[in-house]
Chains A and B, each alone.
Chain A
Amino acid sequence: MKVVYTPDSQMRRPGLLLRSMWRDLLDSRELAWRLFLRDFYARYRSSVLGIVWAFLPPVATGLVFIFLQARGVVRFGETGIPYPVYVLVGTVLWQLFTESINAPLTTVRASVSMISKVNFPREALIVSSLYQILLSLLIKVVILAGTFIYFKIPPIWGLAASGFAIFVLILLGLSIGLLLTPLGLLYSDVASSLVIVTQAWFFLTPVVYPAPKSFPFNLIANLNPVTPVLSTARDLMTIGTIAEPGAFAVVCVLAVVGLFAGWIFYRLAIPILLERMGA
């Protein structure tokens, strides 16, 4: 096997690029699992509350809105299902989405010293952050199950189908995160503004309120790519229907294309970033 390094862009040989991407993805499986286990143990060994942190933030946000709604401070439209269920499902899904956005940049930043010294398949970091998100999903499922039982929401077939919508939600978040990672490694501004942007985005997405139907507020639903995915996942879980299958399909394609583009961008950018970041 012969490897050649030249200053030329790897995009000039797309066949070779795709082949090495595929090979590195396969090669990174074991490492990704190891890194996931490492971070998992390290996190929970130095934490008292441990996995509670995986569901505490969305539950806290949800409780705030349940309280506001119950006291009549805010009045949202009809949600079709008990409002607490609507909100808790929404905030849990939203947190999953923001975790997916943040995961690549956080993981890669934490591994800078490792990447800058060892040439291992860079895909491993992304795959291990996907594992972390899946673990967090697993814990959240338990919380949601508890909520469903408490409010006596009957289990329906849509629950199984919602898994796919949740997966798309994760992919969408990961693709945004991947596209931001290269710039985020160079400039700390990216991580800082991400906090503000996701907060604003939270209110521009029908997480704690039902999607508005009238202009101009319906733009929130029509232009925001998260809306169809989040609404579809929640609707499938609770009432078993898809309100806007067309928009959902468009975002599915968007998520897959974005993920692939983000992957290529990330992969090509790492060697360039390493010389700028030093060892």
Chain B
Amino acid sequence: MPDLLIRAEGVSKKFCRRLRLSLWYGVLDMGHEIFARSAGPARLRKEEFWAVSDISFALRRGETIGLIGPNGAGKTTLLRMLNGLIKPDAGRIEISGRMQALIALGAGFNPILTGRENVYVNASVLGIPQAEVRRRFDDIVDFAEVDEFIDSPVQSYSSGMAVRLGFAVSAFMKPDILLVDEILAVGDEGFQMKCLNKIGELKRNGTGIILVSHNMHTISTYANSVLLLRKGRHDEYRNVSEGVREYRKMFLRKDDLETQKICSGNERIRFHRVDTNAESFLPGDTFVAKLHYESDEEIPDVEVDVAIYSSREPFLHFQATNKAYRRRMDLKKGRHSLEISVEQIRIHDAQARIAIAIWTNQRTELLFWWRIPALFHGMEHSTGNSYLNVTFREFPEDTSAVLHATDSFLS
């Protein structure tokens, strides 16, 4: 078995923006193919653009390359070229070994037929001999966890069940090269773990894997290197966490880096300055903001809302008001300042914004609302959005005490 499984050199693919024109180019391309015209230097025709351009990489035995990039960067197009579904417009791809593509699960499934019948169809499409399927049929059904439904039509399956059955059929192949295109997005957690374990097992047996995922945790766990695709160019990172970080940087919005002053007071009160202690933070650091204000009257029992979020992730990292800490706040008459500190930060690897808002009691009136940018550093060998204080210790055998008995959940 050769060591080098895939060699791609200068691989490019162009697409056309307009459907009518694209169909016509298809006719022309078919003509060129039939009459054996040399492809010549690849040039863009009218309304065409490079969907994948000049990608070179090598995949060796037992290696996993994480293919990451934003939507439309050409990840799936690249996989389809590697799989031989479409031809490159420039460059050269050399494949040595048996390839399996987990691009679509359950290919060839007919919803009217039973799960049992579809297993045989799907296996045939994937090139698995029928005798082999017959021998492993029970294992497939077990793995998919669909025993009681195996003789029901697939149209009565939930989408997760159909995908599980499709994966169970694929899982019995032992390819030299595996292409995985974001299949783990479907299915429940138990199923996802099965998939990942399967990938890990293949990896140990020397299968070279190209893994497309938007889940950076999956990428960090399995990939040995990262190929980051962007529109028009690509970079290879031998260091996975560096690649993941570069990928995340792409989603930075410009206004994430600027302080947004949405409200700085009203006719009763004016906030003229906010001082912060730092702009970037390591886990464990403290964020301090000092709000300087001048008020014409006392405003009792205000609500101070602190939130930390980033535009790149759909979720909030944190939000709480002073009420959560049972702390009453009053804004006094005259020139004063108010200090807010977030202690022992546990946010990991995020370009975020800290939003501070002050409301009058019952939220009838907004007095202040600023969004202040803050960079939370990512640590080496760690992924995820929080960084907890984990300690590691060793004990000699005789002093070992059972702290807490936990069942192994990864058995």
Q: Are A and B subunits of one complex?
A: yes
Alpha-carbon distance A113/B107, docked complex (angstroms): 8
**Interface size bracket, B side:** 35 or more
Say yes or no: B117 contacts A38, CB within 8 Å.
yes
For chain A residues 1-60, which have a beta carbon within 8 Å of chain B?
1-12, 27, 30-31, 34-35, 37-39, 41-42, 45-46
Point out the residues of chain A lying under 8 angstroms from B99, CB to CB: 119
Inter-chain contacts of A269 with B (CB < 8 A): 30, 33
Question: In the complex, which residues 8-43 of chain B have their Cβ closer than 8 Å to any Cβ of chain A?
Answer: 13, 15, 22-23, 25-27, 29-30, 32-39, 42
List the A side residues contacting B110 at CB < 8 Å.
Answer: 38-39, 42
A119 and B32 CA atoms in complex are apart in Å by 23
A120 interface residue per 8 A CB criterion: yes
Secondary structure call for the B interface: mixed
In the complex, A187 has a CB within 8 A of chain B: yes
Name the segment of B84-92, B297-305, B325-333, B370-378 touching the other chain: B84-92
Question: In the complex, are the beta carbons of B85 and A8 less than 8 A apart?
Answer: no
Specify which of A31, A45, A114 is in contact with B112 (CB 8 Å cutoff).
A45
Contacts of B89 in A (CB 8 A): 7
| Minimum C-beta distance from A52 to chain B (A) | 19
B23 in contact with A114 (CB, 8 Å):
no
A sample of 12 cross-chain residue pairs with beta-carbon separation below 8 angstroms, ordered by A number, consists of: A3-B95, A4-B93, A6-B39, A6-B88, A7-B42, A7-B89, A9-B35, A30-B130, A38-B121, A114-B107, A275-B26, A279-B76
Known: A34-B121, A272-B29, A275-B15. A7 touches B90 (CB 8 A): yes
Could you tell me the distance in whole angstroms from the C-beta of A279 to the nearest C-beta in chain B?
8
Whether A272 and B23, one on each chain, are in contact in the complex, defined by CB atoms closer than 8 angstroms, is: no
CB of B72 to closest CB in A, whole Å: 13
> Are A27 and B107 also in contact (CB < 8 A) when A2-B95, A186-B23, A271-B85 are?
no
Q: Are A8's CB and B26's CB within 8 A? A: no
Minimum Cβ distance to chain B for residue A6 (Å): 5
| Cβ–Cβ contact A12 & B36, under 8 A | yes
- B265 proximal to A (CB < 8 A): no
Q: Is A276 an interface residue (CB 8 A)?
A: yes
* Distance of A37 Cα from B85 Cα, bound (Å): 25
User: Across the two chains, which residue of chain B brings its CB closest to A7?
Assistant: B39
Which residues of B in the span 82-111 have a Cβ within 8 Å of any Cβ on A? Answer: 83-97, 99, 101, 103-104, 107-108, 110
The residue in chain A whose Cβ has the minimal distance to the Cβ of B127 is: A120
Chain A 109-127 interface mask (CB, 8 Å, partner B; 1/0): 0010111111110000000
Name the residue of chain A whose CB is nearest to the CB of B120. Answer: A34
Task: Name the contact of A114 in the complex, choosing from B27, B95, B97, B108 (C-beta under 8 A).
Answer: B108
Residue A254 interfacial (CB < 8 Å): no
Is the pair B38, A183 in contact by a Cβ cutoff of 8 Å?
no
A272 touches B30 (CB 8 A): yes
Inter-chain contact A119/B84, CB cutoff 8 Å:
yes
A residues touching B (Cβ–Cβ < 8 Å)?
1-12, 27, 30-31, 34-35, 37-39, 41-42, 45-46, 111, 113-120, 182-183, 186-187, 264-265, 268-269, 271-276, 279
Report the Cα distance A276→B83, complex, angstroms.
17
A182 to chain B, nearest CB (A): 6
Cβ-defined contact, A31 with B15, below 8 A? no
**Which residues in window 104-142 of B have CB below 8 A to A?**
104, 107-108, 110, 112-113, 117, 120-121, 124-127, 129-130
Known interface pairs A5-B88, A8-B38, A275-B87; 7 further A-B residue pairs with C-beta atoms within 8 A, sorted by A's residue number: A5-B87, A9-B32, A12-B36, A41-B112, A111-B108, A118-B126, A272-B30
Residues of B within 8 A of A (CB): 13, 15, 22-23, 25-27, 29-30, 32-39, 42, 76, 80-81, 83-97, 99, 101, 103-104, 107-108, 110, 112-113, 117, 120-121, 124-127, 129-130
Check if A31 sits within 8 Å of B125, measured CB to CB.
Answer: yes
Report how far A255 CA is from B84 CA in the complex, Å. Answer: 31
Contact A11 to B120, CB < 8 A, known contacts A30-B130, A119-B83, A119-B85: no
Bound-complex Cα distance A264 to B76 (A): 27
Report Cα–Cα, A5/B7, bound state, in Å: 11
The answer to whether A41 and B23 touch across the interface, beta carbons within 8 angstroms, is no
**Could you say which residues of chain A place their CB within 8 Å of the CB of B92?**
4-6
B90: chain A residues within 8 A (beta carbon) = 7
Taking the closest CB of chain A, its distance from the CB of B296, in whole angstroms, is: 64
A4-B84 Cα distance, complex, nearest whole Å: 9
Contact A272 B121 (CB under 8 A): no
Indicate the member of A27, A111, A269 with the most B CB atoms within 10 Å: A269
Distance in Å: Cβ of A91 to nearest Cβ of chain B: 30
- Residues of chain B lying within 8 A (CB to CB) of residue A9: 32-39
* Given contact pairs A116-B85, A272-B30, A272-B33, A42 touches B113 in the complex (Cβ within 8 A): yes
- Chain B residue at smallest Cβ distance from A267: B33
Residues in B neighbouring A271, C-beta threshold 8 A: 84-87
User: A118 contacts B94, CB within 8 Å?
Assistant: no
Cross-chain contact A11 with B85 (CB below 8 angstroms): no
For A2, A5, A38, A187, the residue with the greatest tally of chain B CB atoms inside 10 Å of its CB is: A5
A117–B23 CA distance with the chains assembled, in angstroms:
20
Residues B81 and A5 in contact, CB atoms below 8 Å apart = yes
Q: Which residues of B contact A274 (CB under 8 A)?
A: 80, 85-86
User: Is A186 touching B121 in the complex (CB atoms < 8 A)?
Assistant: no
- Which residues of chain A are near B107, meaning CB under 8 Å? 113-114, 117-118
With the chains together, A182 CA to B30 CA distance in Å?
9
- Cα distance A3–B8 when bound, in Å? 12
Residues of A within 8 A of B108 (CB): 35, 38, 111, 114, 118
Per the bound structure, the CA–CA distance linking A187 and B26 in Å amounts to: 11
Cα(A45)–Cα(B155), bound, Å: 13
CA distance A27 to B129 in the complex (A): 10
Q: Hey, which chain A residues are within 8 Å of B124, CB to CB?
A: 30-31, 34-35
Q: How far is the CB of A90 from chain B (nearest CB, A)?
A: 35
CA of A6 to CA of B124 in the docked complex: distance in angstroms? 28
- A266 CB to closest chain B CB (Å) equals 10
Instruction: Decide if B33 touches A268 in the complex (CB within 8 Å).
Output: yes
A245 to chain B, nearest CB (A): 33
Residue pair A117, B103 in contact (C-beta under 8 Å):
yes
Q: How far is the CA of A169 from the CA of B213 in the complex (A)?
A: 51
| A156 to B347 Cα, complex, angstroms | 90
